[in-house]
């Protein structure tokens, strides 16, 4: 690098000197000396051409070359420092770029996870006991799970129309409600909501009114595979028909 710089400067120095002092130099001379930088004395060409050679002999050029070399070295050193600084900056930029690439990748993963979670969140059902027949269910000697027959909503078929059980596909908090309807008389109406066949909440009423009803609801933390059903206790009954009075519904509130 240093040698290169010096070689480049030499002809420039001589040329500059030549142009300043030798006011009557031919194009030929300039070209000649500009190329090689070596001062050549051409005796045959007379006073006018000699000027260039004299100006650019060793005595005249040396101090300037020295100064230039020192300046060049300083410049090179300075550029080296600048280059090092630039390299440091580039490294920092590259590191930042890598970090942001990583962040983008992480966010993409999170988004994918959220989207698949959202798929899992499409959990809701609403059913009623009868499709169109007006009839009592119960009373029975022993309690029994109510198997709701009429589907209003059943995303993912998570409410089983054959067994009467809802099965949680993901861990989360679920919301359930049930509504029982009947007519007055000696037999009370009621039902219980159960998790894994364990009674949690009850709806119950009785009386002589033409139409009686009761309801209840609960928010439940369910593990994957937990089951929820509505249980008709012994000696109670409920009515349903095409108006869908006796219903059971549930949906996932949020995953945990």
Ligand X SMILES: *[C@@H]1O[C@H](CO)[C@@H](O)[C@H](O)[C@H]1NC(C)=O
Backbone angles phi, psi at 111, to 5 degrees: -60, -45
Helix (H, G, I), strand (E, B) or coil at 206: strand
Decide: residue 228, CB within 10 A, 0-12 exposed, 13-18 middle, 19+ buried. Answer: buried
Nearest distance from C-beta of residue 211 to ligand X, angstroms:
4
Binding part of the chain for ligand X, among 12-20, 43-51, 65-73, 205-213 by CB under 6 A, reads 205-213
Nearest distance from C-beta of residue 213 to ligand X, angstroms:
4
Nearest distance from C-beta of residue 205 to ligand X, angstroms:
6
**For ligand X, the closer CB: 49 or 246:** 246
Helix (H, G, I), strand (E, B) or coil at 133: coil
Q: How far apart are CA 98 and CA 73, in angstroms?
A: 37
Nearest distance from C-beta of residue 239 to ligand X, angstroms:
10
Question: How large is the angle between the packed helices 2-21 and 58-121, nearest 10 degrees?
Answer: 130
Binding part of the chain for ligand X, among 50-58, 120-128, 206-214, 235-243 by CB under 6 A, reads 206-214
> From residue 207 to residue 226, what is the string marking binding to ligand X with x (rule CB under 6 A)?
----xxx-------------
Among 205, 252, 242, 248, which residue's Cα sits nearest to residue 229?
248
Pair of tokens at residue 8: 């480049």
Nearest distance from C-beta of residue 183 to ligand X, angstroms:
9
**For ligand X, the closer CB: 167 or 205:** 205
**For ligand X, the closer CB: 182 or 233:** 182
Which residues of the shown chain bind ligand X in the complex (CB under 6 A)? 211-213
């Amino acid at each position: 690098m240093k040698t290169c710089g010096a070689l480049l400067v030499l002809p420039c120095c001589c040329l500059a000197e030549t142009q300043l002092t030798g006011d009557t130099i031919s194009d030929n001379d300039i070209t000649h000396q500009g190329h090689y930088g070596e001062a050549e004395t051409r005796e045959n060409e007379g006073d006018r051409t000699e000027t260039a050679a004299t100006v650019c002999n060793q005595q005249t050029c040396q101090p300037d070359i020295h100064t230039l070399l020192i300046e060049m070295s300083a410049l090179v050193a300075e550029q080296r420092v600048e280059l090092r600084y630039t390299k440091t900056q580039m490294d920092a930029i590259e590191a930042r770029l890598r970090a942001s690439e990583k962040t983008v990748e992480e966010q993409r993963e999170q988004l994918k996870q959220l989207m698949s979670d959202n798929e899992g969140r499409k959990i809701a059902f609403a059913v009623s006991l009868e499709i169109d027949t007006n009839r009592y269910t119960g009373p029975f000697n022993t309690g029994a799970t109510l198997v709701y027959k009429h589907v209003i909503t059943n995303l993912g078929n998570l409410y089983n129309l054959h067994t009467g059980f809802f099965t949680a596909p993901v861990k989360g908090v679920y919301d359930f409600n049930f509504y029982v309807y009947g007519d007055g008389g000696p037999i009370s109406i009621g039902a219980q909501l159960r998790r894994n066949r364990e009674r949690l909440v009850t709806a119950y009423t009785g009386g002589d009114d033409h139409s009686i009803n009761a309801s209840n609801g609960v928010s439940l933390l369910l593990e994957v595979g937990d089951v929820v059903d509505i249980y008709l206790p012994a000696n109670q009954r409920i009515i349903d028909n095409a108006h869908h009075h006796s219903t059971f519904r549930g949906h996932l509130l949020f995953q945990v």
